[in-house]
A and B are shown apart, each in its own frame.
Chain A
Amino acid sequence: MTLSIFTGLLFFGSLTAGLLGALTGLGGGVVLVPLLTVFFHVDIRYAIGVSLISVIATSSGAAAAYVREGFSSVRIGMFLEVATTMGAILGAYLATVVHTQALAIIFGLVLIYSAVVSWQQKKDGGAEVKGHSRWSDKLELSGSYPDREGKPCKYEVENIPGGFGLMFVAGTLSGLLGIGSGAVKVLAMDRVMKVPFKVSTTTSNFMIGVTAAASAGIYLHRGLVAPGLAFPVMLGVLAGSLIGARYLVRAKTAVLRTVFTMVVLALGVEMIVSGVTKWF
């Protein structure tokens, strides 16, 4: 395969990964790494390095759209980024000691988990406000967001230590696997801290970029960001996610969503199986 064909295929593959990521709400990285390893036979360490770069691009590229909606909370984001960035540094170090086949297996498990989470997404409505959380005000994490009529809707956060801890795990996974781990971040905010769903998803998007930036430098230092891969993959994922966010998410096609969730599930199983068979 010559360079131009390889680059072209990579670009369109990455574009698809970006589209898929936007449609399922899983983010580009989760689909990109298996795509690169399973279909393009790229070493998983290269795939993770280039995926981190794409994750930063998608997160930052989508930022303006999220800001316009007026849901994100810079304070909750910044506070939790203390946990995710530290986790990301730990994850990047762990990546050097974990066997590549083990990386593939962990990745497969995360894929399956993400597919399941995206499947059951948003069953229950907004979090009910119960009791008064002292720390929420002390840490200035309480806030408000515009509701459907544009009126401000107040909220508080609960279980701050639990959310903080889970964010550290999300950061570690991000640094170890080169993914945004948006699913875990939303889980920590929405389910554990009872931050309203809209605020959780938009705030998570900003946090993803900062988290990925913490470990991307380490991957670059290690020589794991290959220029020949970075060029088509970064541009492809960015284009795909922007197109996906603009046209596909609004369509909310349940059938497409189901099919794509199945694809993610299958990729997860494939990564685990190939990881196990190559290891032993």
Chain B
Amino acid sequence: MVLENETVENHEHGHFDDRRMETIMGRLLQVGVLLSSFVMISGGLLYMRAHSGETPNYRVFSSEPQRLRHFGGVLEGIETGDPAALIQLAVLLLIATPVARVVFALIAFLIERDKLFVMISAIVLAVLLYGFLRPQ
């Protein structure tokens, strides 16, 4: 394909695969967003049906229910057919998308045997996981 030519141009430093890697990562991000949007639309429409007639009020801050704030709770909510849980699943998918990109980059650098960038990607991944899983 067209990209083959660009790959050749990126030969210096022996990064044989950087261009390919970015192409795959771009796809990965697109798929993640598409998947999340699909879940978001389904959840949103169900949410509208379940709450129709209510008057929304976000003027004053009152935190969302505890069960919708973590992965287990969201899954339980989906089992019981809570549309809000479906929306939160879409949010989780969306947050996971860039994280998946970093995981993929880490694997690609491992294949390239680029120790320095394996380490750098691992640090970024660790920070992301800390933000996501940190103890309350």
Interface residues of A (CB under 8 A from B): 1-4, 6-7, 40-43, 45-46, 53, 56-57, 59-61, 63-64, 66-68, 70, 72, 74-75, 78-79, 81-82, 85-86, 88-89, 92, 100, 139-140, 142-144, 146, 152, 206, 209-210, 212-218, 220-232, 234-235, 238
Contacts and interface: CB of A to CB of B under 8 A. Distances in A.
Contacts of A221: 69-70, 134, 136
Contact of B95 (A61, A70, A213): A213
A132 to B, nearest CB: 15
A4 B105 CA distance: 42
B59 to A, nearest CB: 5
A61 to B, nearest CB: 5
A138 to B, nearest CB: 9
Interface in B98-136: 98-99, 101-102, 105, 114, 116-117, 120-121, 123-124, 127-128, 130-134, 136
B64 A89 contact: no
B68 interface: yes
Contact of A210 (B68, B94, B128, B133): B128
Given A7-B48, A59-B98, A216-B95, A226 B64 contact: yes
Contact of B54 (A2, A59, A64, A231): A2
Nearest to B129: A217
A194 B23 CA distance: 25
A215 B51 contact: no
Shortest 4 CB-CB contacts between residues of A and residues of B: A231-B44, A223-B63, A67-B26, A217-B132
Interface of B: 6, 9-10, 12-13, 15, 18-19, 21-23, 25-27, 29-30, 32-33, 36-37, 40-41, 43-44, 47-48, 51-56, 58-61, 63-66, 68-70, 83-84, 87-88, 90-92, 94-99, 101-102, 105, 114, 116-117, 120-121, 123-124, 127-128, 130-134, 136
14 contacts: A2-B55, A41-B59, A43-B60, A57-B36, A67-B25, A74-B105, A75-B18, A213-B95, A223-B69, A225-B64, A226-B58, A227-B43, A231-B44, A232-B44
A100 to B, nearest CB: 8
A126 B124 CA distance: 30
B59 A225 contact: no
Contacts of B132: 213, 217
B68 A4 contact: no
B97 A56 contact: yes
Question: Which of the listed residues A43, A60, A221, A228 has the most CB atoms from chain B within 10 Å of its own CB?
Answer: A60
A227 B22 contact: no
A6 B58 CA distance: 11
Given A66-B26, A140-B13, A221-B70, A53 B52 contact: no
Given A43-B60, A209-B101, A235-B44, A144 B9 contact: yes
B31 to A, nearest CB: 9
A39 to B, nearest CB: 12
Given A74-B25, A216-B95, A224 B56 contact: no
Question: Which of the listed residues A88, A214, A224, A229 has the most CB atoms from chain B within 10 Å of its own CB?
Answer: A214
Given A1-B56, A215-B131, A216-B95, 20 more contacts: A3-B48, A57-B94, A59-B29, A60-B29, A60-B33, A63-B25, A67-B25, A67-B26, A75-B18, A78-B102, A78-B105, A78-B117, A100-B61, A143-B10, A144-B12, A209-B101, A221-B70, A223-B64, A227-B87, A235-B41
Contacts of A57: 33, 36-37, 94
Contacts of B60: 43
Contacts of B87: 227, 230-231
Nearest to B6: A70
Contacts of B21: 74
